[in-house]
Chains A and B, each alone.
Chain A
Amino acid sequence: EDQVTQSPEALRLQEGESSSLNCSYTVSGLRGLFWYRQDPGKGPEFLFTLYSAGEEKEKERLKATLTKKESFLHITAPKPEDSATYLCAVQAITGGFKTIFGAGTRLFVKA
């Protein structure tokens, strides 16, 4: 069964303290892996799509990487405004374009 597991559930950082969020996935064949950011009470905001192992994408302080079994979202020198829940999701080759989401990592950045 296709599955997505994110860790840790919550992460507390000081401003400027870099860290990484993990997304482990199990799919029969990967179409793509997605990262979203979600603020409380709002819809998820698209960040990145990764398609194959070895791929990397960057946006401001965020960098997403992909291996055959997991993806990492690296946050460099975070600021308080980076505080949010970060969601990882996958689309498998089987099952059409159905998207499976992880439970998310809640990130808190303290000034």
Chain B
Amino acid sequence: KAGVTQTPRYLIKTRGQQVTLSCSPISGHRSVSWYQQTPGQGLQFLFEYFSETQRNKGNFPGRFSGRQFSNSRSEMNVSTLELGDSALYLCASSITSALTFRGADTQYFGPGTRLTVL
């Protein structure tokens, strides 16, 4: 079974530009979460999508947005890039079904997209 895939793996942008990152979850997984990881802040939760709806949201400005398609694939967009947006962006998928074992929903991560803002 293929794992979570993220594209592109590396991106270099300049301040003020916008960027779109893509995530394909494990087949059969309905939930996709996005995280930002920096050396100083660790893993910071951005948002989670389930059945094309945003289910949870972290404390990030409105420049960060996302969406999920009917096939569970998800995209994340960052507008008006700032230097501080340079980070590893991670996507994670989970099953989130009514039969999820004992009610906890294990997340499986992709390799990440390394974004550098110059």
Contact = CB atoms under 8 A, between A and B. Distances in A.
Interface of A: 31-32, 34, 36, 41-46, 49, 51, 87, 91, 93, 95-104
Nearest to B109: A43
A51 B111 contact: no
Interface string B25-59: 00000010101000000110100100000011000
A32 B101 CA distance: 10
Interface residues of B, number: 27
Contacts of B111: 42-43
B33 to A, nearest CB: 7
Given A44-B90, A51-B102, A98 B48 contact: yes
Contacts of A49: 104, 106
> Taking each of B35, B92, B94, B105, which has the highest tally of chain A beta carbons within 10 Å of its own beta carbon?
B105
Contacts of A34: 104, 106-107
B81 interface: no
A14 to B, nearest CB: 26
B64 interface: no
A43 B94 contact: no
B55 A101 contact: no
Contacts of A45: 109
